[in-house]
Amino acid sequence: MRTYSATPRLSPPDLAKEVGRGCTDVQKNLSIRLTRFTKQPEQGMADGYGLLELQFLMASCTVSADGLMQVAEYGVATRSPGSRYAVVRIVNKSSEASLDPYQSKALEDWIRSYKSS
């Protein structure tokens, strides 16, 4: 994950051009994709567009409360360090948390806390 976080990614305007949709549409599409990825994590590793959508949300959007829990749970299930990093950044941005993207247990603790509140 440290390598991922240090590598250049597309800028927010370039990400917006690449995904070609707004935050609401990307969240809806990603929701469908994450349902499949959670059931079959290996597909998440092979699907670069899912990571692109996560990066777009990370850079440009605040995720709805319903979508945030789904994204967070995917972050725990994924085998992709890049996806997990993007998920933690999305959670931090959308919930005003300050989780460390390099500590996977922090995301699990946040989910438990979020569900109990």
Asked whether residue 3 carries a pLDDT value surpassing 60, the answer given is no
N-terminal to C-terminal alpha carbon distance within the chain: 29
pLDDT tens, residue by residue, 20-62 = 888 889 888 888 888 887 777 666 655 577 888 888 888 888 8
pLDDT tens, residue by residue, 87-112 = 999 999 999 899 998 887 999 999 99
pLDDT at 51: 82
Instruction: Sort 30 into a burial class: Cβ within 10 Å, 0-12 / 13-18 / 19+.
Output: buried
